[in-house]
């Protein structure tokens, strides 16, 4: 079946309040302005694993880990042979979580598995600690490569060695790989990179601009920006075939597409109104609906699996990160208020945290934002400028 022709071409009617397309996170503690406190008593028989689990509990952003008395939860575990057991109980002794795991190839992986199991059991969060972040790192003047690190900013390493300008990385669903834009002397190409095989393949190399690739949730097609016919427009293309379709047609310039959780809509940036703003269009084309966003400009959208869009909003002279809840349950809000330009947000798998780049004093670094509490903290600082992060799903 031709997957491009198989898409509905009817106009998608988008109401002001969107239907929630995914299950809401089940949170034991309902207050969103404060984390529950947790006292971690260690894992008997394995102090190295104890340290790694405590680090993940602190970095995951769902607990305030404390050594003080009176914590709302107490976590304690034990290791025997190749198995580990961790129990989390409320202060009154009520069981909140009980997870078991087998020792993996490294202590860090085992800790990630344990804490992910606790987060899923208590809050419905899937795979946060085992997730990865890719980003762009400036290797020399005018050149950038793609790098990868853990959810906590640790263990960063260089992935690509293009000796070029490699930017705009985006994860492929269900695949240990990414798509990104690679600049050459004449054109730009869309390239797929597989972390397991370390192989690349070109997915789009039309004459002119090929950029902004974002793969659909089912992994069959991807949205991209092409400059065919001397117009910069939004297209969709088969991931493994030659079929492609144009979704926009006008004098405006489009950029930065991202997919809805169900894969039936695309959010993108366009200057059709005179300034860069966010629009939503059906995956088969049709009417474009402008989102009423904060600030003079809105760029770099990221669509969470629970139907929220994070974007970079220009308020005054600088850019801040804002969140638009398409479910209509929360008012639109700016979640950063510190100096500098906050750009390229990307949702964590928990639909709560965001990674983005912050540029201040001529230096770009990765920051973590808690959209519930408004707290921010540096995630990764290096000797070079790092930008355009993308969090794996």
Q: Is the pLDDT of residue 18 over 80?
A: no
CA angle 18, 21, 27 (to 5 degrees): 105
Looking at residue 153, its pLDDT comes to: 97
pLDDT band at 383 (very low <50, low <70, confident <90, very high): confident
Q: Is the pLDDT of residue 22 over 90?
A: no
pLDDT digits (tens, 9 = 90+) for 241-267: 989 999 999 999 999 999 999 999 999
Instruction: For residues 27 and 68, give the distance between their C-alpha atoms in angstroms, rounded to a whole number.
Output: 23
The CATH number corresponding to 37-123 among 3.30.1490, 2.60.40, 1.10.3470, 3.30.160 equals 3.30.160
pLDDT band at 31 (very low <50, low <70, confident <90, very high): low
Which is it for strands 73-80 and 37-44: parallel, antiparallel or unpaired? parallel
Looking at residue 5, its pLDDT comes to: 41
For residues 327-349, average pLDDT = 96
Question: Could you tell me which of 88, 94, 113, 93 has the C-alpha nearest to residue 103?
Answer: 113
Q: Is the pLDDT of residue 311 over 50?
A: yes
Q: Is the pLDDT of residue 58 over 90?
A: yes
Which is it for strands 297-303 and 308-315: parallel, antiparallel or unpaired? antiparallel
CA angle 76, 79, 80 (to 5 degrees): 145
pLDDT band at 13 (very low <50, low <70, confident <90, very high): very low
**Range 132-391 has CATH code 3.40.50.300:** no
Contact 95, 86 (CB under 8 A): no
How large is the angle between the packed helices 47-59 and 107-123, nearest 10 degrees?
50
Q: Is the pLDDT of residue 24 over 70?
A: no
Looking at residue 52, its pLDDT comes to: 98
Q: Is the pLDDT of residue 29 over 50?
A: no
Q: What is the mean pLDDT of the chain?
A: 91
Instruction: For residues 236 and 286, give the distance between their C-alpha atoms in angstroms, rounded to a whole number.
Output: 13
> Which helix H or strand E contains 54, and what residues bound it?
helix 47-59
For residues 314-325, average pLDDT = 96
Contact 176, 182 (CB under 8 A): no
Q: Is the pLDDT of residue 63 over 50?
A: yes
Other C-beta atoms lying within 10 Å of the C-beta of residue 260: 23
Looking at residue 236, its pLDDT comes to: 98
For residues 147-171, average pLDDT = 97
* pLDDT cut 90: percent of the chain above it: 85
**Could you write out the DSSP letters of every residue in 186-226?**
S-EEEEEEETTT--EEEEE--SS-EEEEEE-TTSSEEEEEE
Looking at residue 186, its pLDDT comes to: 83
Contact 375, 361 (CB under 8 A): no
Question: Could you tell me which of 75, 8, 61, 35 has the C-alpha nearest to residue 262?
Answer: 8
Looking at residue 105, its pLDDT comes to: 87
Contact 220, 264 (CB under 8 A): no
Locate the domains of the chain by residue range: 37-123, 132-391
For residues 192-213, average pLDDT = 95
Q: Is the pLDDT of residue 87 over 70?
A: yes
> Which helix H or strand E contains 74, and what residues bound it?
strand 73-80
Which is it for strands 157-158 and 143-150: parallel, antiparallel or unpaired? antiparallel
């Amino acid at each position: 079946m031709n997957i491009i022709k198989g898409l509905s071409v009817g106009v998608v009617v988008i109401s002001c309040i969107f239907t929630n397309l995914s299950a809401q996170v089940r949170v034991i503690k309902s207050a969103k302005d404060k984390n529950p406190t947790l006292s971690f008593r260690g894992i008997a028989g394995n102090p190295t694993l104890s340290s790694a689990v405590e680090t993940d509990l602190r970095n995951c952003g769902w607990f305030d880990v404390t050594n003080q008395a009176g914590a709302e939860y107490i976590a304690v575990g034990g290791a025997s042979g190749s198995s580990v057991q961790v129990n989390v109980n409320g202060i009154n002794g009520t069981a909140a979580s009980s997870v078991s795991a087998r020792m993996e190839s490294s202590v860090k992986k085992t800790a990630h598995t344990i804490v992910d199991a606790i987060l899923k059991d208590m809050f419905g969060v899937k795979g946060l600690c085992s997730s990865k972040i890719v980003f762009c790192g400036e290797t020399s003047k005018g050149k950038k490569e793609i790098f990868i690190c853990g959810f906590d900013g640790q263990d960063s390493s260089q992935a690509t060695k293009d000796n070029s300008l490699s930017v705009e990385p985006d994860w492929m669903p269900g695949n240990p790989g990414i798509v990104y834009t690679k600049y050459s002397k004449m054109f730009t190409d869309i390239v797929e990179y597989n972390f397991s095989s370390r192989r690349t393949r070109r997915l789009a190399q039309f004459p002119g601009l090929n950029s902004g690739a974002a793969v659909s949730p089912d992994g069959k097609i991807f949205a991209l920006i092409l400059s065919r016919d001397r117009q910069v427009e939004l297209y969709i293309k088969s991931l493994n075939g030659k079929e492609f379709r144009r979704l926009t047609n006008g004098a405006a310039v489009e950029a930065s597409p991202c997919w809805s959780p169900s894969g039936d809509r695309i959010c993108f940036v366009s200057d059709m109104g005179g300034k860069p703003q966010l629009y939503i269009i059906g995956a088969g084309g049709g009417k474009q609906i402008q989102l009423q966003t904060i600030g003079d400009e809105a760029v770099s959208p990221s669509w969470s699996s629970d139907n929220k869009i994070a974007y970079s909003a220009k308020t005054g002279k600088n850019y801040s990160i804002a969140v638009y809840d398409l479910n209509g349950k929360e008012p639109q809000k700016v979640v950063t208020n510190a100096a500098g330009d906050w750009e390229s947000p990307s949702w964590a798998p928990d639909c709560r945290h965001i990674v983005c780049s912050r540029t201040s004093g001529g230096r770009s670094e990765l920051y973590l934002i808690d959209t519930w509490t408004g707290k921010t903290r540096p995630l990764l600082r290096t000797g070079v400028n790092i930008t355009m992060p993308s969090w794996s799903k």
